[in-house]
Amino acid sequence: MRKEKKPSAEKSGNEVCSLKETVGLYRRAVAIWCSEYPKLFLYTGLYTFVKACSPYFSLYFTARLINELAGQRRGEELTKWTVIVLVSAMVLSFLRAVLLRVKETFASIRWMSMGIICSKKLLITDFNLIDNANTYEKLAWVEQSENWGGNGMQRVYWQYERFLEEVFKLLGGIALSVTLFSVRVPETAGTLLFLNHPACPWILLGCMAGAAAINSSVEKTVQRCENQCSELAKQGNRNFFFMREFAFNRKRDLDVRMYRQEEGCIDLFVSNHYFDTKSYFAKAARGIVGILTALQTVLPSLFMGIVYLYVCLKAWAGAFDVGMITQYVGAVTALSGAVSGLFMVAAEAVGNAYYLKGVFRFLDIPNEMYQGSLTVEKRSDRKYEIEFRDVSFRYPGTKAYALRHVSLKFQVGQRLAVVGQNGSGKTTFIKLLCRLYDPTEGMILLNGIDIRKYNYEEYMSVFSVVFQDFQLLSLTLAQNVAAGETYDRELVMDCLQKAGLTEMVEKLPKGIETNIGKDFEEDGVWVSGGEGQKIAIARSLYRDAPFIILDEPTAALDPVAEYEIYSKFNEIVGDRTAVYISHRLSSCRFCDEILVFHEGRMIQQGSHEKLLAARDGKYAQLWVAQAQYYA
């Protein structure tokens, strides 16, 4: 059984940000919130204003009503104040409720906001960095911060709301309590005349500031303890998300059931004690954190007692009418709450700055690949030529070359097959072609120009790819084919027909409007691996790109479906260039040119007949090896 360790200082939240640094981080975080969700910030501000000011209206009008009751009791005045109290309470409650609804409607997105911001960042991050463990680590840190008590960007939103509320409360409190300090008790008050001493208001304000400062330092201690636990919680959250997904992952489901993997996983999860009563944080909560938090709740009551004493003594001495007691006690209490709240917000902000730093560490990951600006010439004759000029490539962080000295040219309209054993470099070749990585040495050219000089989006629009591990979305079949919300119905049907799916579409309950998967629609359908692969082929055809790349496009198809696809391959691909990857040599025979890869090098090139004629060549060897299974 693994015991949870005490978090080490250097890996955890002992790294405290200065106030200046905190302000800088917050300015940036608020700017992101405002640019991404401006209405949320506007309505939160309005709602907070109404919420914070409402009690003061009530305090002010009720004090007038009580004064009248305790004084002259004039019927007209009493009716006037009663109506004002009721109407103002109704109007403010109504306004508050409406603004709350509006604010919450916009706020519903905030739970997903960081996910959306991170996804946007990931989609513009260089592909080679996505693969990188360092990037993953930084992203995991952001997710962890959000899940660990809503730290990071989430907390900035909550604090914005809290900060505004406290500021409005503070202003309202000052407005309603200023006369408490300025009004003097009459000379007839005898011993209570000491209340006129200028030190009295300062003592009260000093108590208020003291309570607020203690509160804020308690908050800092609690935050530091939370930050110290964040490293451990990161592991815990990773475990938690893995466990949560464990039973729902359709891809993993069969293995889990077959090998009863859940038992080992649950044991591992439980024995880690990340979030149970034996966790470091639970122990801290029972000790210092618990004591300090309890103290935090006692202090306001103590302060309230002092306020009551001061206000009641002044009223008793005849400084003001009894109705004003309600107003002053309410106002000073709110004022003290606001001061305390502002101190807490500041303390919390310093604690949260540590998490924000992590968020920006991820958002600031710089792209390393050169981004060109040339547009790709849109040629009606589709005359495009790709050249690999002495290209070698090593994956980042590795020493071994995945590709070495590859040189070749191919033109539009050709059928090109890339064959070779596993690990020979076929997929790497395609990744370089699609500019997911840049070559370590050498150059790739499109129509004689280095592909790095093209605008990336433009360059990518030249390709359509069917990846081996293609992914479909839980959208309608048509939307999957069009890879978008809107689509050209006829074109979708045409692509589906070319991919051999007409029969399947006829059987679907809603035709091409049927959802793939049941995630969002009860009457959606699960498609088989082979059908999915055909949909992916249809999707690649819908995007009318001059180059179509097929990475093992028929791996999941049965022999009949595979034969169907190949027999009309020319019709499917049309005048496009097809680059076709496979380790099944029989399915490459129809290609004009076959490239044979071995240990990262292109060792042979030619037609099927030519390569087969070279009896000692790799191609002939592989051909014979595969053919004997069928003999």
C-beta closer to ligand ADP: residue 152 or 425: 425
CB of 426 vs ligand ADP, minimal distance in Å: 4
Q: Measured between alpha carbons, how far is 21 from 468 in angstroms, rounded to an integer?
A: 47
Tell me whether residue 206 or residue 423 sits nearer to ligand ADP (CB atom): 423
Shortest separation between residue 398's beta carbon and ligand ADP, angstroms: 5
Measured distance CA(268)–CA(307) in Å, rounded: 55
Q: Which is nearer to ligand ADP, 329 or 430 (CB)?
A: 430
Q: How far is the CB of 391 from ligand ADP (least distance, A)?
A: 13
> Which positions ≥6 away from 70 have C-beta within 8 Å?
321, 322, 323
Strand order in the sheet with 385-393: 403-411, 385-393, 441-446, 449-450
Q: Which is nearer to ligand ADP, 169 or 598 (CB)?
A: 598
Q: Residue 37 has what DSSP assignment?
A: -
Question: How far is the C-alpha of 187 from the C-alpha of 167, rounded, in Å?
Answer: 37
- Alpha helix (H) residue ranges in 260-403: 261-271, 280-286, 288-316, 323-363
> At its nearest, how many Å lie between ligand ADP and the CB of residue 386?
18
CB of 428 to ligand ADP, least distance (A): 3
- Cβ distance to ligand ADP smaller for residue 73 or 399: 399
Q: How far is the CB of 427 from ligand ADP (least distance, A)?
A: 3
Q: How far is the CB of 395 from ligand ADP (least distance, A)?
A: 3
> What whole-number distance in Å separates Cα of residue 606 and Cα of residue 611?
6
DSSP letters spanning 126-146? -HHHHS-HHHHHHHHHHHHHH
Quick one: residue 164, left, alpha or beta (phi over 0 = left, psi -120 to 50 = alpha)?
alpha
* Between 236 and 425, CB nearer to ligand ADP: 425
Nearest CB to ligand ADP, comparing residues 297 and 422: 422
**SS3 readout for 200-242:** HHHHHHHHHHHHHHHHHHHHHHHHHHHHHHHHHHHHHHHHHHH
Tell me the DSSP string of 371-402. Answer: ---BPPP--TT---EEEEEEEEE--TT--S-S
With beta carbons less than 8 A apart as the criterion, state whether 194 and 359 touch.
Answer: no
324 residue type, one letter: M
User: 373: burial class by Cβ within 10 Å (0-12, 13-18, 19+)?
Assistant: exposed
Measure the CA–CA gap between 247 and 379, rounded to whole angstroms: 50
346 burial level (CB within 10 Å; 0-12, 13-18, 19+): middle
| CB-nearer residue toward ligand ADP: 132 or 447 | 132
Which of 450, 391, 464, 462 has the alpha carbon at shortest distance from 425? 391
Residue nearer to ligand ADP on the CB measure, 235 or 392? 392
First-last CA distance in the chain: 56
Tell the smallest beta-carbon distance from residue 600 to ligand ADP (Å): 7
Q: Which is nearer to ligand ADP, 127 or 202 (CB)?
A: 127
- Closest contact distance (angstroms) between CB of 425 and ligand ADP is 5
Q: Which is nearer to ligand ADP, 215 or 428 (CB)?
A: 428
Least distance between ligand ADP and beta carbon 420 (Å): 5
What is the nearest approach in angstroms of ligand ADP to the Cβ of residue 560?
26
What are the residues binding ligand ADP (CB under 6 A)?
131, 395, 398, 402, 420, 422-428
